[in-house]
């Protein structure tokens, strides 16, 4: 399998010529996802990248999935009429320019302030749906205001009927077109590399904090830490947990019990229960 994942091509001999992805700020020059990924590696601290990219434990499943996807290839057909090419199709009975939607990813506020609104704007600009995560750091209502958006909302099975019923009601109220049920996450994966960046469930290690401080362009473009400060200023994480419990924030507790505590999860859970997201 390893050969499918090789970073080298036949145009390279022992790493020569040296190749670098484009990591500059002019996104028009980013030619591929690999360029964008290289830029995010330059801008973001390690703990954020571990959340974004790491797999559970030895990452065996992650690597097997990547290898499996590498084996899917286009089958070229020649000498056929290609003048009328189109990717357009129907999704849930409505036309879409391509058979794609932006998948839900939680805690996007860790990567960029108001990331879900930005993703929704991107999706709307090309006419594909955006699936907002149940762990979103942006309010459902803010995303729903994006003009021309096909707004879908993702729900988990956990959390209890009270939570998902309320979410479903709110999704209907803001005009979500569909609910997307995630069935493969009864508990969160045990992501060792993510956990190695912390000394406890709620505390980043000193080296992680130093690393984060050394990425000013990241902390200037994300409100995640500022929000965390504000939440934590209200008391210790234990008090915060109690506050969430008092308010019946089951989803947050589920997340916290799994060691995935962070500002985004808490905020998302507060938001779940219909309280305005903390600013
Ligand atoms: C950082 C990250 C966060 C994710 N958060 C969620 C989530 O909140 N809800 C969900 O249903 N799926 C979530 N997923 C799963 C993705 O929606 C998607 O199903 C998965 O990444 C597989 O697609 P891919 O092969 O294109 O990465 C997340 C994935 C990543 C990498």
Q: Whose CA is nearest to atom 4 of ligand 1?
A: 105
Please check whether residue 61 lies inside any domain of the structure.
no
- How does pLDDT run across 16-64, given as a tens digit for each residue? 899 999 999 999 999 999 999 999 999 999 999 999 999 999 999 999 9
The confidence score (pLDDT) of residue 206 equals 94
Whether residue 146 has pLDDT greater than 80: yes
Counting from 1 in the atom list of ligand 1, the atom nearest the Cα of 65 is 25
Angle at 133 between CA 26 and CA 229, to 5 degrees: 75
Interval between CA 15 and ligand 1 midpoint (Å): 33
Q: How many CB atoms lie within 10 A of CB 27?
A: 10
Interval between CA 98 and ligand 1 midpoint (Å): 20
- How does pLDDT run across 151-181, given as a tens digit for each residue? 999 988 776 777 778 888 999 999 999 999 9
Orientation angle between helical segments 237-246 and 224-233, nearest 10 degrees: 80
Angle at 181 between CA 179 and CA 184, to 5 degrees: 165
The confidence score (pLDDT) of residue 223 equals 56
Q: Which residues of 257-266 are buried (b: 16+ CB within 10 A; e: fewer)?
A: eeebbbbbbb
161 and 184 Cβ atoms separated by less than 8 Å: no
CA distance 30 to 141: 32
The confidence score (pLDDT) of residue 252 equals 35
- How does pLDDT run across 5-22, given as a tens digit for each residue? 456 788 888 888 999 999
Interval between CA 247 and ligand 1 midpoint (Å): 28
- How does pLDDT run across 62-89, given as a tens digit for each residue? 999 999 999 999 999 999 999 999 999 9
Average pLDDT rounded to a whole number, residues 109-115: 90
- What tokens appear for 97 in the block? 């320019």
> Given pLDDT bands bounded at 50, 70 and 90, which one contains residue 262?
very low
Please check whether residue 270 lies inside any domain of the structure.
yes
Q: What is the pTM of this model?
A: 0.80
Please check whether residue 161 lies inside any domain of the structure.
yes
Counting from 1 in the atom list of ligand 1, the atom nearest the Cα of 180 is 11
Please check whether residue 5 lies inside any domain of the structure.
no
- Burial of residue 140 (CB within 10 Å: 0-12, 13-18, 19+) is buried
- How does pLDDT run across 184-212, given as a tens digit for each residue? 877 778 999 989 998 887 788 999 999 99
**Ligand 1, residues at Cβ distance < 6 Å:** 51-52, 103-106, 133, 135, 154, 182
CA distance 65 to 199: 30
Counting from 1 in the atom list of ligand 1, the atom nearest the Cα of 156 is 11
Whether residue 3 has pLDDT greater than 50: no
Counting from 1 in the atom list of ligand 1, the atom nearest the Cα of 136 is 8
The confidence score (pLDDT) of residue 174 equals 95
- How does pLDDT run across 209-257, given as a tens digit for each residue? 999 999 999 988 885 555 544 544 443 333 434 443 433 333 333 333 3
Which is it for the CA torsion 232, 238, 241, 247, positive or negative? negative
Detail the DSSP E strand segments found in the chain.
89-91, 94-96, 130-132, 151-156, 178-182
User: Which of 103, 138, 224, 271 to mutate for ligand 1's pocket (most ligand atoms within 8 Å of CB)?
Assistant: 103
Interval between CA 238 and ligand 1 midpoint (Å): 29
User: Which of 105, 115, 255, 272 to mutate for ligand 1's pocket (most ligand atoms within 8 Å of CB)?
Assistant: 105
The confidence score (pLDDT) of residue 9 equals 82
On average, the pLDDT of the chain sits at: 80
Interval between CA 184 and ligand 1 midpoint (Å): 11
Interval between CA 104 and ligand 1 midpoint (Å): 6
Please check whether residue 62 lies inside any domain of the structure.
no
Please check whether residue 147 lies inside any domain of the structure.
yes
**CATH number of the domain where residue 274 is located:** 3.20.20.70
- What tokens appear for 223 in the block? 């409100």
212 and 178 Cβ atoms separated by less than 8 Å: no
CA distance 80 to 97: 22
Q: How many domains does the chain have?
A: 1
The confidence score (pLDDT) of residue 254 equals 35
Please check whether residue 83 lies inside any domain of the structure.
no
Interval between CA 21 and ligand 1 midpoint (Å): 24
- Burial of residue 108 (CB within 10 Å: 0-12, 13-18, 19+) is buried
Full residue range of the structural domain in which residue 179 is found: 28-53+91-279
Residues 6+ apart with CB under 8 A from 200: none
Please check whether residue 18 lies inside any domain of the structure.
no
Counting from 1 in the atom list of ligand 1, the atom nearest the Cα of 106 is 8
């Amino acid at each position: 399998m390893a050969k499918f994942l090789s970073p080298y091509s036949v145009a390279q001999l022992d790493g020569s010529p040296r190749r670098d992805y484009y990591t500059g700020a002019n996104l028009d020059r980013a030619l591929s996802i690999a360029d964008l990924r290289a830029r995010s590696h330059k801008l973001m601290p390690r703990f954020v990248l571990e959340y974004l990219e790491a797999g559970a434990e030895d990452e065996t499943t992650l690597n097997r999935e990547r290898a499996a996807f590498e084996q899917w290839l286009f089958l070229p057909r020649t000498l056929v009429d290609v003048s009328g090419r189109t990717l357009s199709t129907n999704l849930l009975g409505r036309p879409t320019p391509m058979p794609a939607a932006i998948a839900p990813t939680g805690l996007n506020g860790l990567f960029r302030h108001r990331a879900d609104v930005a993703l929704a704007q991107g999706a709307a600009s090309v006419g594909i749906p955006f699936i907002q995560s149940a762990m979103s750091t942006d309010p459902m209502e803010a995303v729903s205001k994006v003009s021309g958006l096909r707004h879908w909302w993702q729900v988990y099975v956990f959390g209890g009927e009270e939570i998902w019923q309320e979410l479903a009601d709110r999704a209907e109220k803001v005009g979500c077109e569909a609910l997307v049920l995630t069935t493969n996450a009864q508990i969160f994966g045990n992501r060792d590399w993510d956990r190695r960046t912390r000394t406890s469930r709620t505390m980043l290690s000193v080296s992680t904090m130093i690393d984060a401080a050394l990425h000013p362009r990241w902390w200037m473009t994300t409100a995640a830490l500022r929000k965390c400060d504000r939440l934590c200023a209200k008391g210790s994480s234990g008090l915060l947990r109690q506050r969430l419990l008092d308010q019946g924030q089951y989803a947050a507790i589920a997340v916290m019990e799994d060691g995935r505590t962070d500002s985004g999860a808490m905020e998302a859970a507060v938001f779940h229960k219909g309280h305005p997201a903390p600013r």
